[in-house]
Structure 1
Amino acid sequence: MRVDFYQLSRDPVERVTVMLARLVLKSGNRLLIVSENPGQRAVISRELWSAGQEEFLANGEADAEGAEHQPILLSEKVEPRNEAAMVLFADGKWREKAMTFDRAFLLFGEDQKQAARELWRALDSQDGAERFIHKQDENGRWQAGS
Structure 2
Amino acid sequence: MRADFYQLTRDPVEQVVALLARKTLQAGERMLVVSKDSDQRAAIAEALWKEGPAHFLANGEATVPHAARQPILLSDACAAPNEARFLLLADGIWREEANAFARTFLLFGPDQTQAARALWRDLRARAQTEDAVEFGAFRQNEEGGWNPL
**1:142 corresponds to 2:142:** no
Correspondence list, 1:44-59, <5 A: 44-59=44-59
Unpaired runs of at least 5, structure 1: none
Correspondence list, 1:55-94, <5 A: 55-94=55-94
Give me the whole-angstrom Cα distance separating, in 2, the residues matched to 1:53 and 1:139. Answer: 25
Report the residue type matching 1:50 in the other structure: K
Unpaired runs of at least 5, structure 2: none
TM superposition shift of 1:47 = 0.4
Which residue of structure 2 lines up, in the alignment, with residue 117 of structure 1? Answer: 117
Identity across aligned pairs (percent)? 52
SS in 1 for 2:43: helix
Which residue of structure 2 lines up, in the alignment, with residue 30 of structure 1? Answer: 30
TM-score by length of 2: 0.95
Paired positions, count: 145
Correspondence list, 1:96-115, <5 A: 96-115=96-115
Give me the whole-angstrom Cα distance separating, in 1, the residues matched to 2:143 and 2:53. Answer: 24
SS in 2 for 1:138: coil
> Which structure 1 residue ranges, 4+ long, deviate > 4 Å from structure 2?
none
